[in-house]
Amino acid sequence: MYNLAMRSNKTLSYFLRYIKKLPQLNFKEKYILARRLRKKTLEGIGKKFSVTEARVRQIEKIAITKIKRGIYQQELFKNEKYGS
């Protein structure tokens, strides 16, 4: 049980550091993703920015899409670079 908790804490801190370094995300997107990883409620996050829970979900979805797009573009660049 102790090892599992340690492993999940390391994973959580890894992802939090990763999110903070992403240049394509703005402050609000980084903040929301970090809080959601820490299991904070949509309502609590929404109060910070004076937005609804639905808007928090939208911002979270946009941020995740930006991350996926960035990773996909990196993979395309790698394949193109070495494929030629």
Q: What is the full per-residue pLDDT of the chain (84 aa) written as tens digits? A: 445 555 678 888 999 999 999 999 999 999 999 999 999 999 999 999 999 999 999 999 999 999 988 876 777 677 665 554
pTM of the model as a whole: 0.76
Task: Give the number of domains in the chain.
Answer: 1
Residues 6+ positions from 32 with CB-CB distance below 8 Å: 45, 56, 59, 60, 63
Going by C-alpha positions, the residue among 42, 37, 39 that lies closest to residue 15 is 37
d(CA 46, CA 32): 9
> Distance between CA atoms of 2 and 25, rounded to whole angstroms?
34
Write phi, then psi, for 48 (nearest 5 degrees): -60, -40
Enclosing domain of residue 43: 2-83
